[in-house]
Structure 1
């Protein structure tokens, strides 16, 4: 069967289009999978603690979130507690599961970027002075989990 040059050219163009679309789909899928495999490299560092006194005392914790992966991520409060010293030995200064992000419910962390988030947690009235002393002595330690979402898949990251 003899084909005309025009038909052969059309078949070659169709083959090139199929290969290009397949390659693009593979790259997108591979980068998402690689980012998911690297999810544990997302880093959380508490950089500042601020005690807000009043009738309803609260602790504001500023956390830098660094995302070295190749795709954007979203973070939201999970289960964080601030301790006076080592979490294994220290006393809890905040009420467990009372934390929330200041402002929005979620924060976006760009690919290969850093975002600063502020978590606010309740402090029991009888722990205000201990909390103040721990902050001033640089003994406050944040421990727990934060929920991270990458391309629709979520997991709990340790802080």
Structure 2
């Protein structure tokens, strides 16, 4: 295909390979076939205050533009509120509500276990006290003491201490 022929892709479109360009030394493209392509500029990141005015704008080239009434504290607050607002949905999409629900369920189960352990801790001393009551058979006393000892040992294992 010569540089005056069109490709089948789009009428009037010239397809020239790099090898053809090197071999030709120069190429001819009619002026009506030259097009400019608009490349969109990157967006300007702007932080708006409560009144809607721009506090600070970061331009694509990196320079900062400060709006009327600019205050670094307000700009920082607005920035971090925006980060939190946009980061939360990302986290929810990535990890989701099911993970949050599971974590909350595990925390609640741990809380219930701690409360149960505190109740069990009271049983041992109660059994020890009951074992000292007058009129109790010796076998019952020994059973209460043994139960109290087992409870203390179980608590020590759970808490990682020794008795």
The two structures share one fold, judged by TM-score above 0.5: no
Larger proportion of helix: 2
Instruction: Name the TM-score, length of structure 1 as normaliser.
Output: 0.25
Q: TM-score, normalised by structure 2?
A: 0.25
* Structure with more relative contact order (C-alpha pairs < 8 Å, separation 6 or more): 1
Bigger-Rg structure (1/2): 2
